[in-house]
Structure 1
C-alpha cells in the first residue's frame, strides 16, 4: 500500500483500554476527517461520509480498491509477515508449525528458483493428461484434477445436506468456466465484450508461454472459448442460483446415470476418491444433461487441451515470472483495473495465509490478539440478538405463530467469535523450500482430502470456516450459526482508546453482528429452520407478506447503476436485506447506551449522526471502475456506495439526523421505503 508512511495515523488497534500510565497521543476523530463537507449528506451520503479520505488516499496502482478493508488488511499483512519471517529464520523442527510457515513463505519468496523451474512443477500432471487416449481415461483425468483443486467440466464438493443438516452429502454443481460466471460469455455491454475479446488472447499467450507453438496456441484458445461458451449456455444465471430449493435435487446414482448416460458416476466418484457413494445432490440437472452431450461432442484431444488450460489457469500464480505476469495482466488489469502487482512479499504473505491460515492463526491469537476479545465480541453480539428479539415481537406484519418460530430460530443461533477452541490438524501436509508451486499443490491436496473425509460422517458443528486473522464474517444457514473472527474487534484510527458506542454499534454491531444475524432471515436463510434444515416454518400468509417486502428491496437496488450497468437486485437481495437489518439492529442496540440516552455530543456530532457516519465508515471503500463492473457481474454483494446509501434511504432516523427532504437523491417516499425486520 502506498500510504504506509501514514500508518501511524491510520494504524489499527484492538478495542482495549490502555493503561493511564501511557502517554496519550492526540486523537484525530476519523468520523470528522473522513468526511467531504463539500457534499450534502442528502445528495450522496457515501461520499459525504468518506470522500475526504478518498481524496487523500487514491487507489494504489497495485490494488483494485482502497479503504477500511485495505487499511485493516495491510496491518494484518504486516503482522503475518512478521510471523512468516520469524518462522523462516527459526531453526524449527521438521513438521512443526513454524517450519511449515517459514518454508512455505521462503519458497514463495525465492523467485530465482521459481523462474528456473518454469512449468516443471506441473510436469507429472501434464503427463497424466497427455496419457489420456479414451473416454474412460478422460473421465479419470477430470476426476483427478478436482483432487488437486482444479475445476474442469463441473463443480463438486462435500458439504451439509440442506434438508438433513446433521449429515454430510455429495454435491454436484454447474462449473468448468474459466471466466467464472456465465454472463461473461453472453452480455454485450462494452466492458463485458472487452473482457470476452481479451480472454482468448490471454489463453493463447499462456499456451505459448508453456511451450506451445503460436498457431497451435491460437487454435487451442479458440477451441476452449467455444467449449466454455457451450457450458455457459447451459448454466444458470447468478440470481437463479440463490434459491436453495430450486438448486436442490437429491438423486440416486442410478437416476444420475440415467440423466448422464455417458458418465458412469460410480467410476467418476471413485476417480474423485469417494468410495461407496449412494446418492448425490445435483444443483442444476439441466447442466449435467447438457454436459453429457458436450463430453461426446468434442474429441479426446479437444478435451485434453481444455484440461491443460484448466490446470495452467489454476496454478499460474505460482509459476515463473512470465506466466504469473500474464495471468495478472488478464485477471487483475483487464478484469479489475489493477495497474501493477503488489510487492512480492505482500503477495506471498497473503498466499501463505490463504494456504496455512490455520497454522498462522494459532500464532496470531497468541501474539497479536488483545485479552478479552472473545468476551467483547460476545457482549456486542448478544446485545444485537436481544434487540432483534424485541423487534420481531413488535412486527405488525407477522402472525404470532410465525413469531414464535422466528424467535426460536433467533435464540438458537450459535455465535462463533474470536477463534476456534480446536484447530484443524495439518500434520500430514509436507512443506519444504524446494518448490513454491508444489507446496501450494500439497496444501490443495490436503484441503481436498480433508473435505472428502467428511463424507459418511456426522457434521462437526464446531468447525470454523474462517481464520481469526480474516477480516470478514459469515452466516451458515445449515448450522444456524454466525462466525465473527477475532480481527473484527479492531477499528482503524483509534490509537489506544476505546471507540465510543456509536462506532462500536455502527461497525461491529450493525455491519457485522446485525448483518450476519439478518442472513438467517433473508431470502435464503429464511427457508432454513432453527436446526439448519430446509424446512418451511412460515404460515402461507406471512411468507407472502415477507416476499412482498423483499420484492421492494429488489426493486430499489435494480435502479442503482455502475456506469451503464444496473445492479442486479435479485442476485444481491440477500446481502441488501442483511445490510438493512444490520444497520437497524445496530441502531436499536445503540439506543440502549449511555451515549445515546444522554445525547452526548462528540466532535460536534450528535449520537445519531455519529452512528450513521460510523456505519458509513464500515463500508468506506472506493474501487476501480473495472472491479466495480466485475462485482456487478459476478458478486452477490452490492458495491460499497449502495451498501451505505441503499439501506439508509429506508431509515426514518437517518432522515431526521441529516435533514433528508423530499426531492433529494437520498429520499425515498414512504410507499417505497423497505422495512422488513
Structure 2
C-alpha cells in the first residue's frame, strides 16, 4: 500500500569505511567478474552482466533467491544479530529498548519452550471462535481477530484519504484469502491445480494440529475452501487494483449498511475498536456485497472452521516445530521452491527486526551508519531531480501548461533519506521471555492500535513507513514523497572504497532515486497532484498522449515470457515505467560527472558500459523456479531479467554502448521503443 520498491545502497563516505592502517588489497571489480562473457549482450544483457556470478553462486536450499539483495541482506542480518544477542545477554532496565529486543529474541530462540507450549498461546482465541453462537458473536470474533494481526473475511487499514491527503481515512479492501491472489482459486493450468491440491492437504494437517476430529477434517477443509473461493470470486484481479479512481468509493457508514444488510457496520466498527467514524472508503464494493451474503449463506460451523484456519495460519511461524514446519512446507517449498528452513537465528533475527524494527533502528543508526550518509544520498537524489526537470522541459509530447504542473509537482517531492528524525513510541509494548507467540501478538496489538489511533488526528507527514535497516524504498503518492532508508551503504565488492560514479548513478541514481521519483509520474502516481490528492492536473490532450505511451510499455512486457507464463504487462506497468524512467535519469545525471566527461575507462570498460552494467548489477537476482512463477501471478514487479532487459531495450545510448543491432533479441524497432519521461 506504500508503493514499496526494492533498492540498493552504495558507499557514502569512503574514508569512514576504509582502514588506512591496513595494506590495501587488490581490487577486483564486480562489474568485470560478474559477467558471463560467453553470453552476447545483444542476446540477453541481464545474463551477460550477471551470469558469471550466478554460475559461481547457486541459490542456497534455504532461500528463494540469490544475488545482490541476498548479499546485502546477509550483512544487515549479521549486524542485527549482534544487536539482538548483546541485548539478550545484558541485564537491561525493564521496559527499555534493549530489554524488549533482548527478551523478544531470547523467546524466539527458546525452541524447547515453544515446542512444549504447542497451541497453548492461541488457546484463548480458539475458545472465542468455538463460542460463536449467532451472527453478532461471529462478527465480534472476526473483529477481535483483526486486532491481533489476523485478516479474516476482509482487509482494512487507516491511511490518508486519496482525495484529501490532510486527513486519515478508514479504507475497506478485499481480503481473507489464504492463497492471497484470486487467480489461484480459478486458473486451470496444471501448476495452479497442483497448488490448490497441496493447499487442501495443508489445511487438513493444520486442522489436525488444532485437535480437530479426524473424521471431520476433510469436510471442514472443504467448507473452508468453498468460503475462500466465494470471496475470491468477487475479488478483483491484481491489475484491476491499480486504478486508484475505481478503487475509491467513499460512502457514509449508513450507505455501507444499506448495501450490506446482514452486517451492522457501527457495531462491526466497534468490534474493531474503531469509534467516531462517519464515512469509509470502500475499495471494492462488490466484494463487500459478497461478504455480506456469505455471512448467512455459510453456516456458523463453516465460519468457525474458516476462522480457526485463519488464526493458525496467521500464527503458525511462532508456534511449535511441527506446525512451523508444515507451514514452511506449503508456503515456502510448494509456493516458492525453498527446500530447507533458514537457521533458527536467521529466522528470529528477521522476525525481531520485523516486530521491533523501530527500536533496532535506533541502535543501528548509532552503531553502523557512517556519518554523512544522509548528505550523500540527498546529493545524488537532488542531482536526479535536476535532470528530471531538464527532461520534462524538453518533452515533445507535452504542452507547456501540463509541463509547468509536472515541474511544480517534481519540485514538491519530499525526500526522506537515511533515517527518521523522530521515532515511534513503543513504550507501551510488553515483551518478556515467557512466550514468543504472545510477544508477537502483543506487538500486533500495539501496531493495530497505533494505526487506528490516527483516525480523527492530523496526518503526520514526517512519519516513516520503513526502518533505516530496511533494504527497500518507496514512493507515497498521498505525501508526494520518496523514502530511501540507509540500511547498508556498501555496494558488494566495493568495501573500503568509493564506487566510481558509473556505479553510484547506475545503482543509487537510476534504480533508486530515479525509479522512485518516476513513480510520481507512472500510471498511478500521475493521477495525484503535488499535495498528494487524487486530482487530474493534465490537459485532456496530454493525458491521452501519456496513456498511449503507457499502452506501448504494457504491450512490450506482455510479450515477455518466463517458463510457460507471460508477464502481466498491465499489472507491472507502474514498475516498468519507473524502471525505464529511473535508468534514463540516472544516465543523464551520470553524463554530468567528470568520469563521463573525460571518457575515463576502468577495467577496460568505458563509462557508458560501466553505467549499464551497474544498472544490471542493481537487479542481479536469481529466483527459484517456483518463486518466479508465483511472483508472475502476485507481484507488480517484473522478474529481474526483464527489469533490466526490458528497460534497456528502449534506450539508444545502450544500443550504442553494446552495439545492439536489428534482429537481436535486445533490439526494439524505433517505432516500438518507449520513452515517456
TM over 0.5: yes
Preserved contact between residue 67 and residue 620 of structure 1 (Cα < 8 Å): yes
**In the alignment, what sits opposite 1:568?**
568
SS in 2 for 1:487: coil
Of 204-213 and 351-360, more deviation after overlay is shown by: 204-213
In 2, Cα distance between equivalents of 1:422 and 1:295: 43
CA offset digits 1:225-261 (Å, max 9, x no partner):
1110111001100000000000000000111001101
Partner of 1:147: 147
Could you list the per-position Cα deviations for residues 404-427 of structure 1 after superposition, in whole angstroms to 9, with x for gaps in the alignment?
Answer: 000000000000000000000000
**TM-aligned CA distance change 1:602 to 1:389, over 3 Å:** same
SS of the residue 2:491 aligns to:
strand
Is 1:323 matched with 2:328? Answer: no
SS at match of 2:14: coil
Is the Cα–Cα contact under 8 Å of residues 10 and 507 in structure 2 kept in the other structure? no
Q: Is the CA contact (8 Å cut-off) linking 2:11 and 2:498 kept in structure 1?
A: no
Residue deviations 1:556-580 (CA, integer Å, cap 9, x gap): 0001111111100000000000000
Contact 1:15 1:490 in 2 (8 A): no
TM-score, length-normalised on structure 2? 0.98
Task: After superposition, give the CA deviation of every residue in 1:176-211 in whole Å (9 maximum; x if it has no partner).
Answer: 100001000011222211111110110001111221
Q: Distance in 2 between matches of 1:61 and 1:319?
A: 23
CA contact (8 A) 2:397 2:542 kept: yes
1:386/1:488 CA distance change after superposition, 3 Å:
farther
Equivalent residue, structure 2, for 1:197: 197
Matches within 5 A, 1:107-256: 107-256=107-256
Preserved CA contact (<8 Å) 1:13 1:492: no
| 1: CA distance, partners of 2:495 / 2:312 | 45
Match of 1:421 in 2: 421
Whether 1:368 aligns to 2:368 is yes
What is the distance in 2 between the residues matched to 1:31 and 1:167?
A: 47
SS at 1:334 equivalent = helix
Q: Confirm or deny: 8 A CA contact 1:16 1:370 kept in the other structure.
A: no
Larger deviation, residues 482-491 vs 258-267: 482-491
Any conservation in 2 of the 1:488–1:508 contact (CA below 8 Å)? Answer: no
> Residues 344-383 of structure 1, C-alpha deviation per residue, up to 9 Å, x if partnerless?
0000000000000000000000000011000000000000
- Measured after TM superposition, the shift of residue 21 of structure 1 is 4.3
| Superposed CA RMSD | 1.0
> Is 2:541 the partner of 1:530?
no
1:474-527 alpha-carbon deviations (Å, 9 max, x no partner) = 000000000000125321111210000000000000000000000000000000
Cα distance in 1 for partners of 2:312, 2:530 equals 43
- For residues 141-200 of structure 1, what are the alpha-carbon distances to aligned partners after superposition, in whole Å with 9 as ceiling and x for unaligned? 011111011000001111100000000001100111000010000112222111111101
How far has the Cα of 1:14 moved from its partner?
5.7
Deviation (angstroms), 1:221? 1.1
Where does 1:456-471 land on structure 2 (aligned, <5 Å)?
A: 456-471=456-471
Indicate the SS of the match to 1:169: strand
- Where does residue 268 of structure 1 map in the other structure? 268
Q: Is the 8 A contact 1:36 1:47 kept in 2?
A: yes
Note the C-alpha offset of 1:294: 1.1
Partner of 1:619 in structure 2?
619
1:168-567 correspondence runs (5 A): 168-487=168-487, 489-567=489-567
1:166 is paired with a residue of what secondary structure? strand
Are 1:377 and 1:489, in contact at CA under 8 Å, matched by a contact in 2?
A: no
Matches within 5 A, 1:70-81: 70-81=70-81
Q: Do the aligned partners of 2:66 and 2:622 also contact (CA within 8 Å) in 1?
A: yes
Match of 2:4 in 1: none
Counterparts of 1:635 and 1:224, CA distance in 2: 25
Residue 577 of structure 2: aligned partner: 577
The answer as to whether partners of 1:529 and 1:537 remain within 8 angstroms in 2 is yes
Q: Shift of residue 222 of structure 1?
A: 1.2
Contact 1:12 1:495 in 2 (8 A): no
**Residue equivalent to 1:4:** none
Offset, 1:219? 1.5
State TM-score, norm by structure 1. 0.98
Inter-partner Cα distance in structure 2 for 1:621 and 1:56: 13
Aligned length: 667
Deviations 1:296-339 (A, max 9, x none): 10111110111111000000000000000000000000000000
Question: Which residue of the partner structure matches residue 606 of structure 1?
Answer: 606
- Which structure 2 residue ranges, 5 or more long, are not aligned? 1-8
SS in 2 for 1:165: strand
Counterpart for residue 106 of structure 1: 106
SS in 1 for 2:377: helix
1:16 corresponds to? 14
Corresponding residue for 2:5? none
SS class of match (2:538): coil
